[in-house]
């Protein structure tokens, strides 16, 4: 099936630093998502993005978070500054349409904030 790629697969950084997580979505998809899963906990929605704009975000999407997809390149999640509670696996997803369409997920980026 369609593949979503995420770079890097793992990232370890010190608290307070900036981190950028990269997602290469399915090539013709228009809607992009980030989800967060803390170890041993449920997967939770962070944000979705379409046509250069944040369409919807959850309360987990703090002010320190931002997303963008400049010129059709990677869809990125930036956290600046990072906090200990940001340690989690971040999954990127993409879909062709929005509410009725299948979302395809990447393998996740495991972020550890020390």
Among 13, 20, 78, 98, binds other proteins (CB under 8 A): 98
Q: Does 100 bind other proteins (CB under 8 A)?
A: yes
**Stretch in the footprint of other proteins (CB under 8 A) among 10-18, 21-29, 74-82, 102-110:** 102-110
Asked if 74 and 22 touch (Cβ cutoff 8 Å), the reply is yes
> Does position 85 bind other proteins by CB under 8 A?
no
Residues 7-66 that bind other proteins (CB under 8 A): 31, 33, 35, 37, 42-45, 48, 55-56, 58
| 13/60 with CB nearer other proteins | 60
- Applying CB under 8 A, what is the total number of residues that bind other proteins? 27
């Amino acid at each position: 099936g369609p593949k979503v790629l995420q770079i890097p697969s793992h990232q370890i950084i010190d608290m307070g630093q900036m981190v950028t997580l990269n997602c290469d979505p399915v090539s013709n998809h228009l809607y992009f998502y980030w989800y967060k899963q803390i170890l041993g906990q449920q997967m939770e929605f962070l944000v979705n993005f379409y046509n250069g704009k944040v369409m919807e975000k959850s309360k987990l999407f703090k002010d320190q978070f931002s997303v963008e997809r400049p010129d059709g390149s990677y869809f990125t999640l930036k956290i600046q500054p990072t906090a200990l509670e940001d340690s989690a696996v971040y999954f990127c997803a993409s879909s062709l349409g929005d509410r009725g369409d299948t979302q395809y997920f990447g393998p996740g980026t495991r972020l550890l904030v020390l």
